[in-house]
Amino acid sequence: MSFISRVRRTDYIVIGSGVAGLRAAIELAPFGRVLVVTKDKPSESSTEYAQGGVAVALSDDDEVSFHYRDTLKAGDGLCRSEAVRTLVEEGPDRITELINWGTQFDKKGFSLAFTQEAAHSRRRILSAKGDSTGKEIERSLLRKVRNFKNITRYSHSCTVDLIVEDGICTGVLLVRGDELIACYARAVILATGGAGRLFSRTTNPPVATGDGIAMGYRAGAVVEDMEFIQFHPTSLFVPGAPQFLLSEAMRGEGAVLRNQNGKRFMSRYHPDAELAPRDVVCRAILSEMVRTRTKYVHLDLTHIEPAFIKKRFPRIYTTCLSFNINITEKPIPVSPSAHYIMGGIKTNINGESSLKGLFAAGEVACTGIHGANRLASNSLLEGLVFGARAGQAAVKYGETVNLPRNLKRITHPEAYEIKKGNTEKIRDNLRKIMWQKVGIIRCEKSLLQAQKKLSAWKHLLSASLLTRPDLELKNMLTVSQIILTSALLRQNSVGAHYRSDYKEKTKGWRRHIRIKQAKDGEIEAKG
Ligand code: FAD
Ligand code: SIN
């Protein structure tokens, strides 16, 4: 395919239209022209599928200090306290603002209804329409964004790479239809979400291919904590069906896990049983699956009042029914899936990356709020708090720089042609390798095996590619390499990173592993 090469100038570019990107765009809009780029339809994002809710210390028996303490505990010693404090202290204002913009959270009578999730010492989770919290937040933010005349939205537009001139990020190169557009701006905010699609079992939507992390890395930004992948214990296990998430809120409302023999098992693994940290529940499920020689366990709600289940989890009830599972009558077959990446583009609490002109917020970023393991329902709040902060910081930075006058038309080198059908084949193989060798339990042997297999596709890391599937594959390979390098370097088990050959927190576990692209294009690791 041949592309028409164009240039475009705006004040600010936001890549991604999930909670973090939209919140950032709202902050930027009063100060200049904003271009929001999304590679799919505007709402397609992890945000849209978030179920359980958003954590915030707003209930009468809760305090910001309790939320702070629970977040640090979940992070297993690797959270940055300044970032956590910012999250929990600014969270209530961001939520109140969201309510004022029309977000309808569930209520008990006239008051907000707070529910329970694992590792929260208080009932502090706000939900919307039962189990459609993300969809409701996305709806209200998109509506708010539409009110700003100077926000332009480019949907179905996939970014190729960031534009960097003299060590400063000045824009982004993207593919939109048959056009290759070089967009220049004062500042760029990455809000591209996570990388769950790197794994063959994942709760994440197809857009979550780690593009922002890969582009930031290629542009020279520092990436941090990439070995920490959170696996969610309960996603639907029906052969041929997607790994639809079965919210932790179900266990919060009393659902229990049973093995193949119908026996509850979680209390043998942790005093908090079904409400133990996610990594503990995942490993317990794996262990029961091995013991009973099956590929799944059961999530059982059949002891809970059916009318309550249908009202509290309407989306889950209907989805499971479409797979012939009536969750009020039958236990649900479940197994773990990749869910969230704690690492990402390293930023400070203002979303500033190590590369001038480049900001990041939401799941793509690593502020240090999650440490080695994220507390459930903290990421929607993260998108709101740090999306707003990144927007504010980008404005401040933008006031100090001029827009480049002579905009360079970028003619991309002839695109490398991956043999027809091979992109899908390589992607499927990569996802299987990442799941089997770099998944919930890792060891040096499995990581080295993965590294060897991935090296067969090394030539694609520097190839010039221009279609969305090819670009995503290149990004997935890049991010997988970074995860592997970090996981090999961390010779201890902390939070969600579990090494069967180093089961404890051995000497030096408190360090953070940082990765940067070296001048020769190889991975350079520190920490
Ligand atoms: P996203 O919402 O994923 O948005 C990323 C955006 O970037 C999308 O618009 C995408 O199209 C765009 N994009 C990506 N790459 C490119 C590219 N190359 N070019 C252009 N655009 C691009 N968290 C909670 O706090 N509570 C929950 O209850 C909860 N439930 C969850 C349930 C599910 C099924 C999943 C998958 C996640 C859940 N999470 C939950 C996690 C949470 O939803 C995400 O971490 C959060 O929504 C991420 O927001 P974001 O704005 O950073 O990214
Ligand atoms: C869930 O509903 O279980 C997901 C919550 C989260 O990942 O924060």
Model pLDDT, residue 1: 65
4 — pLDDT class (breaks 50, 70, 90): confident
For residue 202, what are the β-bridge partners? 338
Question: Ligand 2, closest atom to CA 246?
Answer: 3
| 433 neighbors 452 (Cβ within 8 angstroms) | no
Which contiguous run of DSSP H or E holds residue 22?
helix 19-28
Q: What's the CA-to-centroid distance between 273 and ligand 1, angstroms?
A: 29
| Selection from 188, 156, 145 nearest residue 356 by Cα | 188
Q: Where are the alpha helices (DSSP H) in 147-277?
A: 211-219, 248-252
Instruction: Calculate the average pLDDT of the chain.
Output: 96
Instruction: Express each pLDDT in 441-469 by its tens digit.
Output: 999 999 999 999 999 999 999 999 999 99
Residue type, 303: H
| Selection from 412, 416, 461, 417 nearest residue 178 by Cα | 412
* pLDDT at position 520 over 90: no
246 — pLDDT class (breaks 50, 70, 90): very high
Sign, CA dihedral 258-260-262-265, equals negative
| Selection from 140, 115, 141, 117 nearest residue 311 by Cα | 115
Q: What's the CA-to-centroid distance between 129 and ligand 2, angstroms?
A: 15
Average pLDDT value for residue range 247-252: 94
Model pLDDT, residue 416: 85
Model pLDDT, residue 413: 72
Model pLDDT, residue 521: 86
Nearest CA to ligand 1 atom 28: 52
| 206 neighbors 473 (Cβ within 8 angstroms) | no
> In whole angstroms, what separates CA 440 from the centre of its chain?
17
Q: What's the CA-to-centroid distance between 193 and ligand 1, angstroms?
A: 5
Instruction: Express each pLDDT in 328-386 by its tens digit.
Output: 999 999 999 999 999 999 999 999 999 999 999 999 999 999 999 999 999 999 999 99
Model pLDDT, residue 197: 98
Q: Dihedrals φ, ψ of 492, to 5°?
A: -165, 170
Q: Classify domain 238-338 at the CATH topology level.
A: Flavocytochrome C3; Chain A, domain 1 (3.90.700)
Structure tokens at 150: 């100077």
Q: What's the CA-to-centroid distance between 376 and ligand 2, angstroms?
A: 5
490 is catalytic: no
Measure Cα distances from 521 to 167, 195, 205, 416, 478 in Å.
16, 22, 30, 18, 11
For the chain, domain boundaries: 224-229+419-526, 238-338
DSSP track, 31-51: GS-EEEE-SSSTT-SHHHH--
Instruction: Express each pLDDT in 385-442 by its tens digit.
Output: 999 999 999 999 999 998 766 677 777 777 788 888 999 999 999 999 999 999 999 9
Beta-carbon count within 10 A of 400 CB: 8
Query: Among 49, 51, 334, which residue has the most ligand 2 atoms within 8 Å of its CB, making it the best to mutate?
Result: 51
Structure tokens at 35: 């271009």
Q: Which residues, judged by CB distance below 6 Å to any ligand atom, belong to the binding site of ligand 2?
A: 51-52, 247-249, 339, 376-377, 379
Model pLDDT, residue 414: 77
Beta-carbon count within 10 A of 399 CB: 11
Q: Which residues, judged by CB distance below 6 Å to any ligand atom, belong to the binding site of ligand 1?
A: 15-21, 37-40, 44-47, 49-54, 133-134, 158-159, 191-194, 203-204, 207-208, 211, 245, 340, 362-364, 377-380, 383
Q: Which ligand is nearest to the CA of 376?
A: 2
Structure tokens at 223: 């990436």
No. of H helices and E strands in the chain?
14, 23
| Selection from 343, 30, 355 nearest residue 166 by Cα | 355
Read off the pTM. 0.98
* pLDDT at position 37 over 70: yes
Measure Cα distances from 283 to 43, 70, 337 in Å.
33, 21, 12
Q: Where are the alpha helices (DSSP H) in 41-154?
A: 46-49, 64-74, 81-100, 133-146
C-alpha span between 229 and 373 (Å, rounded): 8
Question: Ligand 2, closest atom to CA 52?
Answer: 2
* pLDDT at position 228 over 90: yes
Average pLDDT value for residue range 146-175: 96
C-alpha span between 242 and 235 (Å, rounded): 9
2 — pLDDT class (breaks 50, 70, 90): confident
Q: Which residues are CB-contacts of 22 (< 8 A; sequence separation ≥ 6)?
A: 36, 138, 141, 142, 144, 145, 387
CA atoms within 13 A on the CB side of 319: 20
C-alpha span between 12 and 35 (Å, rounded): 6
C-alpha span between 302 and 330 (Å, rounded): 6
146 — pLDDT class (breaks 50, 70, 90): very high
| 501 neighbors 444 (Cβ within 8 angstroms) | yes
Q: What's the CA-to-centroid distance between 358 and ligand 2, angstroms?
A: 29
Q: Map tokens 């896990």 to a residue.
A: 257
Model pLDDT, residue 363: 98
Largest CA distance in the chain: 70
Average pLDDT value for residue range 136-150: 98
Sign, CA dihedral 43-47-49-51, equals negative
Q: Classify domain 224-229+419-526 at the CATH topology level.
A: Methane Monooxygenase Hydroxylase; Chain G, domain 1 (1.20.58)
C-alpha span between 18 and 403 (Å, rounded): 27
Average pLDDT value for residue range 481-497: 97
C-alpha span between 165 and 373 (Å, rounded): 36
Catalytic residue among 124, 176, 218, 278: 278
Sheet holding 157-165, edge to edge: 4-9, 179-184, 168-176, 157-165
| 21 neighbors 363 (Cβ within 8 angstroms) | no
